[in-house]
Amino acid sequence: MELIYSTQSSGFDPDKRYRNPEHFDRPEAGVTGVVVVGVWPKVVEAYESVGVEVTAIEAESRRVLVVDAGENQAELEALIGKLQIESNTVRAVIDGLDAGEIEKPEAGELAIRLFHALDGIRLQMVEMAGARDDLAAENESLRNELAELKAGEGVEVEALKAKLDATGVTYRANASKESLEKLVADLPKA
């Protein structure tokens, strides 16, 4: 089976199978050939690494043609250029995020806002991880303290049992510390 990786939204050949490379995560099984339209190195490398023949085709330019804009022609073309730059900077932030290294873009209002939002999330995650680690350390400390208290209580219980045994007083084998203390308190004073 041959696949075509393309971001096109129209002009599909009904006899071919298409995939959007923006959603690529791993090669599909049973593929014998791949055509990649545009620059998608992740797709190319993944299929080549499993021995599938890959053909890369340069994508057609995404130019917008404004027809009969009259006096506003230059203004519209400038706006389109700004939007293309904005789109490219947002894509750069997303690509950096995919690569695990995100850098603040130098231009592009949306890209900078996206960077700040993602950086805010990163800082919150760092803060949450610190709080988690603090709680884990506190939990471990409390466990150790509880173990020490139980060990100390066990020594006290054994001492109470020894006093009762010395005087011949009987008690339940699983008697609580409190009940043993009451029995010791009720011993005749000598």
Q: What is the mean pLDDT of each run of 10 residues along the chain (190 residues)?
A: 88 89 92 92 94 86 56 79 84 82 82 88 92 95 90 87 91 91 83
Residues contacting 54, CB < 8 A, separation 6+: 33, 34, 35, 36, 43, 44, 47, 48
State residue 63's pLDDT score. 53
* Residue 56 backbone phi and psi in degrees, to 5: -100, 135
Amino acid (one-letter) located at 46 = A
CA–CA gap between residue 14 and residue 9 (Å, rounded):
13
CA–CA gap between residue 18 and residue 187 (Å, rounded):
91
Burial class (CB in 10 A: 0-12, 13-18, 19+), 3: buried
N-term to C-term CA, the chain? 99
Claim: this prediction has a pTM higher than 0.75: no
